């Protein structure tokens, strides 16, 4: 039996000068955001896009607080990546945990792995482990930053640099909105940014362990997220407005 050929890090199509211009533009965007807003926060998943932003934040000295959603169902590689990133940059990443009562309520209704049963249970699990913790992490902030890109999925093709997060009533920025996948990896190579180990094993997009799998070469880069659901929308609800 032939082993499947999984996704791998793509080559760059940018010249060194073009890459330098993109990198400078990213750093300027972050510097501008941190100047315009008094309390800016960045939710990092430790995946490639978020590592690019983390690297730029530390190198610009932008006053942006970093946190990660410690869902309780992450890969060990992701847990370890938090420590790797903190050590590399000399920073502290706040860990935001779900409330025990919220997780238990989900388990009582659907079972520990009930998210496999359909879209609604999946939303309920994400709600308990990700959305409610994100809401708590953003209380008091007047802007937040994401690693979203237009190229990532059909639900993000109209993404802009700045949006209004009308659910939370704050500004939301997507500083990599116009970057391609190959741009991301070229920048990571140039800046010697730490790489999440799962990216080297065929995972272009990384979420919770039971809800993320490797992606075969040629598949959509988010095909490994909630793969059992027949839907073009590979979202958990973190980035949905009203």
pLDDT range class, residue 233, cuts 50, 70, 90: low
Share of the chain above pLDDT 90, in %: 84
Specify the pLDDT at position 25.
96
236 a catalytic residue:
yes
**CATH number of the structural domain spanning residue 186:** 3.40.50.620
Specify the pLDDT at position 2.
65
- The CA distance from 27 to 15, in Å, is 19
- Smallest Cα–Cα separation from 156: which of 145, 148, 146, 165? 148
Q: Is residue 209 part of a domain?
A: no
pLDDT at residue 1 is higher than 90: no
Q: Is residue 35 part of a domain?
A: yes
Q: Which of 126, 208, 211, 236 is an active site residue?
A: 236
Q: Is residue 40 part of a domain?
A: yes
Structural domain of 32:
16-98+137-202
Q: Is residue 106 part of a domain?
A: no
Mean local confidence (pLDDT), 93-98? 98
Q: Is residue 113 part of a domain?
A: no
Q: In angstroms, how far is CA 131 from the centroid of its own chain? A: 13
| Total domains present in the chain | 1
Mean local confidence (pLDDT), 3-8? 86
| pTM for this predicted structure | 0.92
Q: Is residue 3 part of a domain?
A: no
- The CA distance from 11 to 232, in Å, is 26
Q: Is residue 173 part of a domain?
A: yes
pLDDT, tens only, 119-163: 999 999 999 999 999 999 999 999 999 999 998 767 667 799 999
Q: Is residue 11 part of a domain?
A: no
């Amino acid at each position: 039996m032939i082993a499947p050929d999984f996704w791998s890090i793509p080559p760059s199509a940018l010249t060194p000068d073009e890459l330098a211009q993109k990198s400078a533009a990213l750093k300027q965007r972050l510097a501008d955001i941190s100047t315009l807003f008094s309390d800016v926060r960045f939710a990092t998943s430790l995946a490639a896009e978020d590592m690019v932003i983390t690297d730029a934040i530390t190198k610009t000295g932008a006053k942006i607080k970093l946190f990660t959603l410690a869902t309780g169902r992450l890969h060990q590689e992701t847990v370890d990546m938090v420590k790797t990133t903190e050590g590399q940059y000399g920073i502290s990443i706040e860990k935001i945990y779900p409330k025990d009562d919220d997780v238990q309520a989900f388990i009582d209704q659907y079972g520990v792995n009930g998210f496999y049963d359909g879209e609604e249970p999946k939303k309920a699990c994400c709600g308990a482990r990700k959305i409610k913790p994100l809401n708590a992490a953003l209380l008091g902030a007047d802007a937040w930053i994401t690693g979203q890109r237009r190229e990532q999925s059909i639900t993000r093709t109209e993404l802009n640099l700045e949006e209004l997060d009308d659910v939370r009533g704050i500004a939301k920025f997507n500083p990599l909105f116009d970057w391609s996948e190959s741009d991301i990896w070229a920048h990571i190579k140039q800046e010697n940014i730490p790489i999440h180990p799962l990216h080297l094993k065929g995972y272009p997009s990384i979420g919770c362990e039971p809800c993320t799998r490797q992606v075969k070469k040629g598949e959509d880069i988010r095909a490994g997220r909630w793969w059992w659901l027949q839907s073009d929308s590979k979202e958990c609800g973190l980035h949905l407005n009203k």
